[in-house]
Every structure is written in C-alpha cells, then in structure tokens.
Amino acid sequence: MRGLMMDYPLVIPKILERARRVYPESEVVSYHADGKHVYNWGEFFGRVVRLMNVLRKLGVKPGDRVATFAWNHNRHLELYYAVPCMGAVIHTLNIRLFPEQLSYIVNHAEDKLIFVDDSLLKPIEALAGEFKTVEKYIVMGESGKFETSLSPVEEYEALMSAADDTEDFPEIDENDASGLCYTSGTTGSPKGALYSHRAVYIHTLMACLADGMALTDMDTVLPVVPMFHANAWSVPYNAAMMGSRLVFAGANVMPDNLVRIINAEKVTMALGVPTIWNGMLQHLRQSGERLDTVHTMLIGGSATPKSMIEAFKKEFNVDIMTGWGMTEMTPLGSTGRLTRKMTDWPEDKKFDYLAKAGRPSACVEMKIINDQGEELPWDGESTGELLVRGPAVVAGYYKNEEASKAAISDDGWFHTGDVAFIDENAVMTICDRTKDLIKSGGEWISSVEMENATMAIKGILEAAVVARPDEKWDERPVVFVVPSPGETGITPAHILKELEKEFAKWQLPAEEDIRIIEEVPKTSVGKFDKKVLRAKFL
C-alpha cells in the first residue's frame, strides 16, 4: 500500500521562492574592491529572474553547462540560482587550478558560456584558444570598464539592465542535473560530480539541521570557503532556505580583512579550511582584536588541530565545529557537536572529541571495511576504508565510466579513499587518506595524527607530514614545520622531544627528517599540498 502524498518536486526554485516569501527582508552583503553591495532576498529574487532571461537570450537551453570563474560575491550567488532555475547546469571553475587542468575541465564539461570576474580575466584569456565549446564570455565587475582579448564578450550589468523581468520558471524534474563540480585532480584528471536538484535540496535540509550547521534567520553567515569549491559547502542554498543574513568577503580573505568584516557585519557563523582560521588565530593574538559576535566556526577540508579548537574557545569564546565531507557528497558527510552524554565529560576529553570528524549527518550512512571488503565494528579501534551512501552521494562520475566503477561498489557504496574508525558513540575519526598513510616496517603511521601533535607544540604555525622511501623500513615519516611569526626557539631536537610524548619510538621521525621551512604549499582550496612537498624536498 502506498501513501497518499502530494507530488512535490525537490528543486532549487523552491528554495529561492521560500527565501522571497518567508525572509524577503534578510540581507545579502557583498564586499568588492571598490565598496560594499547590499540587497535583500526579495530583491535578489528579482535579479535572478532577470538573469534567467539573460541566459535564455544568450541561447542557454536546459541541460547546457554554464561556467563561472569568480570569487565569492552577489553576482556569483545570482548565477547559483538563475542557471539551475532555468534548467541549465552551473559549473563552478576552480580559479586556482593549473592551466592544463582548467582547460581539460572546460572541454570535458562542454561549457557553453563562462562568467568571469574582471579581476580574473588573464587566466581565461590565456586559455581561450583551447576551449572547444565556449560560445561567449560575460565579464562581471562593478565599474563595467574592462579590457580583454576575449571574444565574443558581454558585460554582466549591461545585460541585466536590458533584461526582461517576466517570471518564467520551467517545470524541472528533481532528478535533473543542477550543478557540476570537479575534484581537484590530485591523482589523474579531475573528475566531475554532477549534482541533481533533489540531491542539493535534501543536502540543504540536512545541513540546516541542529546537528548540522543549525542556521536560522537570526544568523549572519560568512562563507570563506570558496564558491568554486564543492558548492561553498552548500551555504548559498542553506542561507536562503533558512533566511540567514549572508556575507561575502570577495577576493580579500586575509585575516585582518576577515576580522574587520566579521566585526562590522556582526557575523555569527563563519566557515572555512583550517589554514584560514590558523592565520586568523595568529592575527587575533598579535592585534588584540576580538570576535564578539561569532558563536561558531565550521572548519572542514582537512583535520583540525585540537590545539586550535582549544585556543579559539578559551581565548575568544568561539566554538569550533568540525565537518567532514567530499565534493562527491554535495559535500557534507559528518559534523562534530557535543551530545547530551558528553555534557559532563572533562574539558580535555571534550576537545579530543571536537577534533574528530564527528557523527554521520542525517541521510548519510557509513561503514568501515578491511582489505578483504569485510565490514568492521564501531568499536573505536577497527580501522579501514570509509564507505558512504545516501541521497546526496554521487552514483558515479560525469562521463567517466572507469572512475565510476572504481569508486562505487556493486551494492551501491561510495569508496571515499579515507582511512577511518568509528567509535561506540558513532563518532568517526579520519586517520588519513589511503595515499598519505606511512607504512614503516609493516606497520602504519598516520600523517594526520603526527601533524596535529606537531601543531600542538607551542610556537609552531603549520606542520605537514609525508613519507620518504627507506631501504630498511620501506617508508619513514618526514615532518615539515613552519614556526609562528617571530618564533626563534623551534628546532628539530625540540620538536622530536615533544613528539616522544605522543608516539612510540618506531613511529618517530629521525631528527634530520624534521625540516624547518618558510611555508607549507597549499592546494587550490587551501589544503596542505603534499605532492608538492614530495616533489620539492624528497
């Protein structure tokens, strides 16, 4: 027997309509190089309608891919809605990719248009001759004045001024594609995650739950995570769904500017990768500034050091919530919030928990398997590869059958490539990426655990651990360390002495394998780029 329920499509236009109807006065604030732009969700709706008509006039049809090459700002947000709401697919291009990767992605996706910020024209100009399907470029900026070799080219605001404001929302199947994000391509060519409207809608609901981001219309949210990376962790959709006030920092994400914006706009929640908040922590300590309105920072992208979580809470009364996910999961997979049973735990134990990846998000199932494919218990000890499934997890990669078969098991589970364990409280801990584990004398050493322990040492700003080949032990750990600004007392001998408190003797690096460097190289989304460390130093 089937239930008697309405046929209600879970599509992005429903999120947009909710923002207009329920929270029309809540603001979207966007910082640009030449000033600040402010409008509300009601006015935003009208802009999206005009942009949908612009896209139609430019020849965009349902299913066409429309690319963006832009920072976080209001025009980028308009594209986040207008493109999928008229049935096309928004493809956010990572502005920090290598040229050959960018060219590959545009051609693989068969992008029809590229919307590009006026400050980011040069990379697109350099590659335009290699793009096979791009028919036109639309330049976004405040002044409307720019010089470019791109052709044919249009200016965003000129198109918007001449656009029709007639509402025309087509019927969309919830399983139709809405967005396309490519992985950063750490191994092989980048792979495309093609999101459906249904996946984005369900992900938005689960991300807004109390055990997720817990957004309300009382919040002012600052996503420092780029809009070109994994849907900006879905914040553009979450904020609209819940009527949150949304703030974009634009191109300047230096700590001093972020602190200025946070305090000026009374931001309550901010989101970004650990390197962003590590830099902010150092700036706050040096400047004496405060973050009086921020109650939560969501940190994801890589492991969050316990020392950072503890410092923000004790020194600035800011709660750190860890999050784990993947581009292929739209992207949220787990979040770390204290539960009722943890209320009376000792403070240090609470910080230990908050440094973990957290419990599975609603609509996400997890399991751990060993090398034989056997499921392991949630006992906090059994370690293996993490597999996930759910309505917002991809069932394969866009136009890549080989990668799809490798990633999806016959029974429908997605292989994350992360090594993890889950404890009796359903709390998941990422030990490492499979490719970053260090195998020494037949035993495994977690680079993540050693990085966190190193960054907990006073006077250390950043640390990254990779493996070097070793004739006797197969592999041995190499620790790269960046001292805090002005710190002169950090030596390999001092670091080794501190690590001896946390690791067995066989796990410890040799003193000559602890290397002081000026900066840890970063990937396009701010994670430590270990492949560059290996190529440059080993």
How high is the pLDDT of residue 506?
A: 85
Encode pLDDT of 390-439 as tens digits: 999 999 999 999 999 999 999 999 999 898 999 999 999 988 777 787 87
- The full set of domain ranges for the chain reads 12-196, 365-433, 438-537
How high is the pLDDT of residue 145?
A: 87
User: Which range has the worst mean pLDDT, 14-23, 242-251, 324-333, 440-449?
Assistant: 440-449
- Those residues whose C-beta lies under 8 Å from the C-beta of residue 320, and which sit 6 or more positions away, are 277, 296, 297, 299, 304, 308, 309, 312, 313, 354
Average pLDDT of the chain, as a whole number: 93
3-state secondary structure of 99: helix
Percent of the chain with pLDDT over 70: 98
Q: Name the more confident of 533 and 168.
A: 168
Encode pLDDT of 256-303 as tens digits: 999 999 999 999 999 998 889 989 999 999 999 999 999 999 999 877
* Per-residue confidence band for 442, with pLDDT thresholds at 50, 70 and 90: low
How high is the pLDDT of residue 514?
A: 95
E-strand ranges in 169-289 read 177-182, 192-196, 220-223, 245-248, 269-272
Identify the CA nearest to 231 among candidates 197, 278, 258: 197
Mean pLDDT, range 190-218, rounded to an integer: 96
Encode pLDDT of 480-530 as tens digits: 999 988 888 899 999 999 999 988 788 899 999 999 999 998 876 677 888
Residues marked as catalytic:
183, 328, 439, 444
Cβ distance 95 to 114 under 8 Å? no
Strand order in the sheet with 136-140: 153-155, 136-140, 111-117, 65-69, 89-92, 177-182, 192-196
Cβ distance 117 to 94 under 8 Å? no
- Fold annotation for 438-537: GMP Synthetase; Chain A, domain 3 (3.30.300)
* Per-residue confidence band for 449, with pLDDT thresholds at 50, 70 and 90: confident
DSSP code per residue over 311-366: HHHHHH--EEEEEEE-GGGSSEEEE----GGGTTS-HHHHHHHHTS-BEEPTT-EE
* Per-residue confidence band for 185, with pLDDT thresholds at 50, 70 and 90: low
The two beta strands, 474-483 and 514-516, are parallel
How high is the pLDDT of residue 196?
A: 98
Cβ distance 187 to 172 under 8 Å? no
Cβ distance 475 to 440 under 8 Å? yes
Mean pLDDT, range 178-205, rounded to an integer: 89
DSSP code per residue over 381-416: S--EEEEEE-TTS-SSBTTBHHHHHHHB-TTS-EEE
Cβ distance 484 to 282 under 8 Å? yes
User: Which range has the worst mean pLDDT, 8-17, 172-181, 426-435?
Assistant: 426-435
Q: What angle do CA 62, 66, 70 make, to 5 degrees?
A: 150
* Per-residue confidence band for 123, with pLDDT thresholds at 50, 70 and 90: very high
pTM for the complete prediction?
Answer: 0.86
The radius of gyration of the chain's CA atoms, rounded to the nearest angstrom, is 23
- Tokens representing 247 are 């703030």
**Fold identical between 12-196 and 438-537?**
no
User: Which range has the worst mean pLDDT, 210-214, 377-381, 466-470?
Assistant: 466-470
Compute φ and ψ for 130, nearest 5 degrees: -95, -15
- Superfamily of domain covering 12-196: ANL, N-terminal domain (3.40.50.12780)
Identify the CA nearest to 478 among candidates 498, 461, 464, 488: 464
- Tokens representing 18 are 């909710």
CATH code given to domain 365-433 = 2.30.38.10
Compute the distance between CA of residue 69 and CA of residue 76 in angstroms, rounded to an integer.
Answer: 9
Mean pLDDT, range 326-355, rounded to an integer: 93
Residue with tokens 């990572």: 94
Alpha-carbon dihedral of residues 114, 120, 123, 126, nearest 10 degrees?
A: 80
Cβ distance 106 to 131 under 8 Å? yes
Identify the CA nearest to 433 among candidates 133, 123, 187, 154: 187
